[in-house]
Amino acid sequence: MEKFATLEPVKLYASAASTGARILGRGSVQKPAAMAPLVGRLPSDLHLLILSYLPIPDISSYSRCCRATAVFAKDDSIWDTRWKALGIEKDPGFKRVLDILDRKSNDKIVESRAAGPPIIPVDDEFGDFTTADVFAPPEEMGDFVGAFQHVPTTPSKFGSYAFPTPNDTSRTKYIRAHTLLKPLTRLLSSAPHVVLSDLAAGVSDSLYEEAKTLRLLSLFLSPAIQPVRQWDSIYSSLRTSMDRFDSTLLAAFDVADGKGDEAGMREAAESSWEVWDAHSGDWEMGKVWAEKREIFYQQGRWRPLDNFTTEGQLDFLAMDEFMDVILRSIDEHGARAVRVFPPASQVLLLFSERLANEVVGEYITTLLSRAREISNDTYLKSAAASFREAWKMVDAIMEAAKQRPDSNVLRNKAEDVVYQMFEINMDEYLDEEVESVKLAFDVICKGWDQEASVSSPTQTRQFISTQNPAMLKRNVLASFTSLLLLPVTIVPRTVGAVGGALMTGGSAAVQGIAMLNPQRWGGAGGGTGGTAGAGYSKNLGKQNGMLFEVEEEEEDYVPPIKGATPDKNISLTHLEITSPTPLMGNNGASPLPSSSSGSSTANQLDLLLSLDVALEIIHADRESLKRVETFAGYPGHYGHRVRDTIEEIFILMLQALGDHHVSKGFSQATERMKDYKPAEHSDTSNVAPLVQFFELVHIGDTIQSIMQVYFDKELAHHIDKTDFLNAVVREKKRFENSLDDSVALGLNAGTEVLMNQVEHIILTLTKAREYYPPEDTPLELGPTRGCQEAIRCLENHCKLLKGSTSKEVLEVFYQEVGLRLIGILQKHIKRQIISLSGGFQVIADLNAYNTFIASLKIPAISADFSHLKMLGHVYVVEDAKDLAQIVKDVTRYGGAYRPEDVYEFIQRRSDWKKIEKIVDKTMYNLSFKEDCTIC
């Protein structure tokens, strides 16, 4: 209990007379700040608060209560808000109005005093606001009477409360403005036309100064100031006069507009802007001016349907002409609006918005309706092209805004003009874009499956026939990267043949692998030869076309294609050559002889994947992506939708390519490999399914690399690549993992097929007495034919896999081959009868196998083969006792073998019956005659 502090009594409620300690917590109090001095029963700060809300006439009454309240009435804080409400310090025009009023008031006072009797000034404390009204009727002098004329030059104090000196304070500045403006309120009791006439004759020198005077009076007669008792009724009269004045200005503006007098237009516009009530709606003058532009009444002059040819193709030359008219209108009328109207009115944007909605928007709506009737593809291309054409308005608006340095037209506001105009089309467009991509991917994948199942093409390999597949792929990817840099045509136009290639609007035939054929980069055929007639070319459309169409403005781009003449356009003449994965019959010679002799070419595994299909899918995706990217700058809700659509399009591409083509192809290949029977094929050097699967792996690896390049070039800047929760990042990772898993499963099946082939070679090519030759047969210290053929088969297939998969997968494959080869050789040796001379043949074969395994550079299996090679020595030792010692050495240093394992191998010696007892006694210290009893 001694750990707890004793609670002290705390006073919960402090009296008003006490020091007023405020409780913060148990045992903790805080003293409040010193209270303001009291004046009567109220503190001084409360008096000031009351004064800040009183109308001006009541302040004089309040100040007359006592000298203390008279001092409060002079405090600058209650006048500061009223002075700022006039806005005189912010607007030099208001200062000029006061100066004019001051000058004319002084002139009037001088004239009046000269004509009247002498006046003896009276010194009192309540005359500060009566100077200007000295000649006014007595009944008009009662609105504001009190203030304090004789103010001490040093700060006065009441208790501890200090007040500033009146020199150049908000109070003195307001008194001047009040003194000058209050006489004008008497004019507002007349009819509006009389008010304007008197104001123009006696106050202002121009329309603009008259407008500034009316504006200043409207601020003076506001709830924030309340300068007279009936300020609200006087303000209503003022508002009526301002509206009549605005009508007069509108007429003057029309007259100046008809004459082309921009100076007169500017004066009328700026004056109208001053008297306009911002709470009454749109500014009438700017609205009326915009409505009178002739372009709003010429819709019949343009025909949106002229953008379609008689065949239903797009040709936006008609819209080019239409947009030229729109841009000239912005340049002419918009520039004049900037020069004439006040910058704050933003008439340029008002005119542009109406032009966009009523003229451009109607044109685009009619165009898209017709495009929808033709086809969905035409609609999508028309939507993107129309937006791209309408976007020219933004630059035109910004160019017109340069007519005035202070135009204050922001680019994002100019962009909003087009964005808001096109919003009505965005929901339908984005939905259709996604559905169109889904359909395109489905058609491509199903078309490939159907054609591959019914056709019997001649097999053509490129990757497995080259000496450096990795270099080949790098060249292909470099070409693909260059092609990605070519812009996609968004606005279709019909032009003539350029550089031998017919540029069609919006839809180009996909030339597939003909654009990126490996043979062009130094494949098996050597050089860059290859003609269109030598191989398959997949065309989904016209024979003349482009993979990715080139914009006309890209004048300086030269794609880096070896062996081709640099040209602005990539034509089929330059690029069409043999496809490594053909779909239809190929008359060209294959770089390798077909390895599927005796089997149907329809079962070729390397035809289960196609770079053609991958490029077609990428082309369809990129074409859609580039259309959607046209809207990438959209703000707000549609901006989020556009970004989501970009991600969804890429995800759909990954799913189509991964699930419906790559994974499906590898799965079919794996199943077909399992049906391969080595005994049914005469060719022992090549395992046809495995060779084809290796080509499949090369194709799959190239597809993945192309996909990575495409992702980096086209999509990476739209997403955060480091966000592992992003849908695109996750789907891309799933695509890569699925490909890796498919390759791993296929390699596992391929390894089984390869080792079955190796075992078949060893069994069929090993002679009956290969390891038990007759005594008079001379020894040939070299590997047997079966060993040579098996090693050649293994070498051929291991080399084919290099450069097609990762180093880790390659090492796993090599290790699996080595382990299975050890098992095959052990079984093979245990099936033989081996003589002493045949033992040397065994060692020669094991040495050859060991050399091959060492070339794979896999330490784990190299050690296992060293142990197997050591085991071969048990067949070349003649003395049985020495043999037993070798067995002990093998089991001691060759840790993979136990004594009983070695014992099984020794039993395959041809002299085993002779040496069995000696070996047993030496190895196990056994003697059957002495140690065994047969009952």
Rounded mean pLDDT, 477-481: 80
Token duo for residue 781: 């210290």
Distance CA 871, CA 798 (A): 26
Instruction: Provide the percentage of residues in the chain whose pLDDT is more than 70.
Output: 73
Query: Which ranges of 775-806 would DSSP assign to H, the alpha helix?
Result: 785-801
Most confident of 67-76, 480-489, 587-596, 761-770: 761-770
Q: HSE (CB half, 13 Å, CA atoms) of 922?
A: 16
For every residue of 62-106, which 3-state class applies, written as one string?
Answer: HHCCCHHHHHHHCCCHHHHHHHHHHCCCCCHHHHHHHHHHHHHHH
pLDDT at residue 194 in the model: 81
pLDDT at residue 256 in the model: 92
Distance CA 749, CA 742 (A): 11
Residue 822 binned pLDDT confidence (cut-offs 50, 70, 90): very high
pLDDT at 327 over 50: yes
Mean pLDDT, the chain, rounded, equals: 76
Q: How far is CA 592 from the centre of its chain?
A: 45
Residue 32 binned pLDDT confidence (cut-offs 50, 70, 90): low
Phi, psi angle pair for 38, to nearest 5°: -85, 140
Distance CA 621, CA 636 (A): 25
Residue 775 binned pLDDT confidence (cut-offs 50, 70, 90): confident
Rounded mean pLDDT, 71-88: 87
Token duo for residue 546: 């482009």
pLDDT at 760 over 50: yes
Residue 607 binned pLDDT confidence (cut-offs 50, 70, 90): confident
Q: Which residues contact 99 (CB under 8 A, 6 or more apart)?
A: none
pLDDT at residue 432 in the model: 95
Instruction: Provide the percentage of residues in the chain whose pLDDT is more than 90.
Output: 27
Residue 896 binned pLDDT confidence (cut-offs 50, 70, 90): low
Rounded mean pLDDT, 753-769: 89
User: Is residue 858 within 8 Å of 811, Cβ to Cβ?
Assistant: yes
Rg of the chain on CA atoms, in Å: 49
Residue 5 binned pLDDT confidence (cut-offs 50, 70, 90): low
Rounded mean pLDDT, 245-258: 90
Burial class (CB in 10 A: 0-12, 13-18, 19+), 514: buried
Q: Which residues contact 571 (CB under 8 A, 6 or more apart)?
A: 499, 500, 501, 544, 546
Pairing outcome for strands 497-498 and 22-25: unpaired
Using alpha carbons, select from 901, 903, 861 the residue that is nearest to residue 883.
903
Quick: pLDDT tens for 368-411: 999 999 999 999 999 999 999 999 999 999 999 999 898 889 99
User: Is residue 463 within 8 Å of 695, Cβ to Cβ?
Assistant: yes
Distance CA 919, CA 899 (A): 12
Q: HSE (CB half, 13 Å, CA atoms) of 199?
A: 31
**Running DSSP on this structure, what letter comes out for residue 311?**
T
Token duo for residue 395: 């630059």
User: Is residue 234 within 8 Å of 188, Cβ to Cβ?
Assistant: yes
pLDDT at 65 over 50: yes
Task: Find tokens 């966009």 and name the residue.
Answer: 356
pLDDT at 889 over 60: yes
pLDDT at 275 over 60: yes
Give 118's strand partners.
none
User: Is residue 622 within 8 Å of 488, Cβ to Cβ?
Assistant: yes
**Running DSSP on this structure, what letter comes out for residue 314?**
B
Question: 444 vs 79, 448, 509, 714, CA distance in Å?
Answer: 79, 6, 13, 21
Task: Find tokens 């004509």 and name the residue.
Answer: 115
DSSP letters spanning 460-520:
--STTTSS-HHHHHHHHHHHHHHHHTSPPP-S-----EETTEE--SS-----GGGGS-GGG
Three-class SS of residue 537? Answer: coil
Token duo for residue 923: 């190895």
Which own/partner pairs from 335-338 qualify as long-range (CB within 8 Å, at least 24 positions apart)?
A: 335/400, 335/403, 336/262, 337/286, 337/289, 337/290, 337/400, 338/400, 338/401, 338/403, 338/404, 338/407, 338/409
Q: Which amino acid is at 241?
A: S
Question: Is the Cα dihedral 820, 826, 828, 830 positive or negative?
Answer: negative
Distance CA 865, CA 790 (A): 16
Burial class (CB in 10 A: 0-12, 13-18, 19+), 934: exposed
Burial class (CB in 10 A: 0-12, 13-18, 19+), 819: middle
pLDDT at residue 634 in the model: 93
Most confident of 291-295, 443-447, 651-655: 651-655
Three-class SS of residue 296? Answer: helix
The total number of residues written for the chain in this structure: 935
Q: Which residues contact 391 (CB under 8 A, 6 or more apart)?
A: 418
Rounded mean pLDDT, 781-802: 86
pLDDT at residue 640 in the model: 95
Task: Find tokens 């180093």 and name the residue.
Answer: 807
Most confident of 86-95, 525-534, 727-736, 922-931: 727-736
Its pTM stands at: 0.72
pLDDT at residue 478 in the model: 83
Residue 552 binned pLDDT confidence (cut-offs 50, 70, 90): very low
Token duo for residue 642: 């556009």
Q: Which amino acid is at 213?
A: T
Distance CA 747, CA 666 (A): 10
pLDDT at residue 3 in the model: 56
Quick: pLDDT tens for 793-817: 898 888 877 766 778 888 888 999 9
**Running DSSP on this structure, what letter comes out for residue 831?**
T
Buried b (16+ CB within 10 A) or exposed e, 537-566: bbebeeebbbbbbbeeeeeebebebeebee
pLDDT at 520 over 60: no
Rounded mean pLDDT, 217-246: 88
Residue 155 binned pLDDT confidence (cut-offs 50, 70, 90): very low
Pairing outcome for strands 42-43 and 38-39: antiparallel
Residue 894 binned pLDDT confidence (cut-offs 50, 70, 90): low
User: Is residue 684 within 8 Å of 793, Cβ to Cβ?
Assistant: yes
Using alpha carbons, select from 394, 387, 390 the residue that is nearest to residue 409.
394
Give 158's strand partners.
161
Q: How far is CA 302 from the centre of its chain?
A: 37
Three-class SS of residue 25? Answer: strand
Question: 25 vs 3, 21, 22, 84, 494, CA distance in Å?
Answer: 20, 12, 9, 44, 84
The residue with greater pLDDT, 109 or 696, is 696
pLDDT at residue 467 in the model: 61
Quick: pLDDT tens for 122-139: 554 444 444 444 333 333
Angle among Cα 783, 787, 793 to the nearest 5 degrees reads 135
Quick: pLDDT tens for 677-718: 887 766 666 777 787 888 888 888 889 989 999 999 888 889
Distance CA 211, CA 243 (A): 11
pLDDT at residue 598 in the model: 36
Distance CA 403, CA 409 (A): 11
Task: Find tokens 């390891």 and name the residue.
Answer: 771
Rounded mean pLDDT, 146-171: 47
Q: HSE (CB half, 13 Å, CA atoms) of 565?
A: 6
Residue 16 binned pLDDT confidence (cut-offs 50, 70, 90): very low
Distance CA 352, CA 608 (A): 56
Residue 511 binned pLDDT confidence (cut-offs 50, 70, 90): very low
Q: Please list the helix, strand and coil fractions of the chain in percent, rounded to the nearest 5, in that order.
A: 60, 0, 35
Quick: pLDDT tens for 632-652: 999 999 999 999 999 999 999
Question: 580 vs 319, 326, 456, 461, CA distance in Å?
Answer: 43, 52, 15, 5
pLDDT at residue 632 in the model: 92
Distance CA 914, CA 857 (A): 41
Residue 895 binned pLDDT confidence (cut-offs 50, 70, 90): low
pLDDT at residue 460 in the model: 47
Q: Of 440-454, 547-561, 917-931, which gets the smallest average pLDDT?
A: 547-561
pLDDT at residue 143 in the model: 44
Q: Of 204-208, 278-282, 384-388, 546-550, which gets the smallest average pLDDT?
A: 546-550
The residue with greater pLDDT, 229 or 730, is 730
pLDDT at 96 over 50: yes
